[in-house]
A and B are shown apart, each in its own frame.
Chain A
Amino acid sequence: GQNIDQPTEMTATEGAIVQINCTYQTSGFNGLFWYQQHAGEAPTFLSYNVLDGLEEKGRFSSFLSRSKGYSYLLLKELQMKDSASYLCAVTDSWGKFQFGAGTQVVVTP
């Protein structure tokens, strides 16, 4: 099975940096995804990590350490529109996804 833990909520000010941590336990790990979900909308894909290291995509970066079962999503230069829930999802060798409960990021002026 898979257990995924991420903080429930984080608050940061506009222009700041926020790091959302995700720890997981899984059998047959085959990649970790981060999604953004605004209230009442479907999730949108942000990033994918399967090898150790940092993946940078504009203001968003994602890091993975397979040996530690740990990932983080880094949001830089926060904007008000970044207020959303961020979901960590782990996929196994059968292609099955398991989502974390999500971290609600609140960006304040």
Chain B
Amino acid sequence: GAVVSQHPSWVICKSGTSVKIECRSLDFQATTMFWYRQFPKQSLMLMATSNEGSKATYEQGVEKDKFLINHASLTLSTLTVTSAHPEDSSFYICSAKTGPQGQPQHFGDGTRLSIL
């Protein structure tokens, strides 16, 4: 089945640091990748939709200059949290899907980000 790999799984860093998270589709080409954030006991909140070779589409309220997304190939998307602060601490999850409608999103294992 479709596999999505996300790294790192856990990051602890100081306030002001920039953190890069990678999302790779291992056995399929992902035309679209999604980045979510999830706070404890809350649902997945879509941050942005990333299409290969084009600029990401950000959801309302998500700062594009703070959360930089690059989708350089059909198998890799990266999310960089720039100048991270404690309020950015959260569980970040990527997902990927192929083009056809009706295909499920396949999720990476998530990245737990803790900013001290």
Contact = CB atoms under 8 A, between A and B. Distances in A.
A42 B109 contact: yes
Contacts, number: 49
A44 B42 CA distance: 16
B102 A48 contact: yes
A41 B110 contact: yes
Contacts of A99: 43-44, 46
A35 B104 CA distance: 10
Nearest to A4: B43
B78 interface: no
A100 B44 CA distance: 8
A43 B4 CA distance: 12
Interface range, B side: 20 to 34
Chain A interface size range = 20 to 34
Nearest to A102: B43
A79 interface: no
Nearest to B99: A95
Contacts of B42: 101
B34 interface: yes
Interface of B: 6, 32, 34, 42-44, 46, 49, 91, 93, 97, 101-102, 104-110, 112
Given A30-B101, A95-B97, 8 more contacts: A31-B101, A35-B107, A42-B6, A48-B104, A50-B102, A87-B44, A96-B46, A98-B46
7 contacts: A41-B109, A41-B110, A43-B93, A87-B43, A95-B101, A100-B43, A101-B43
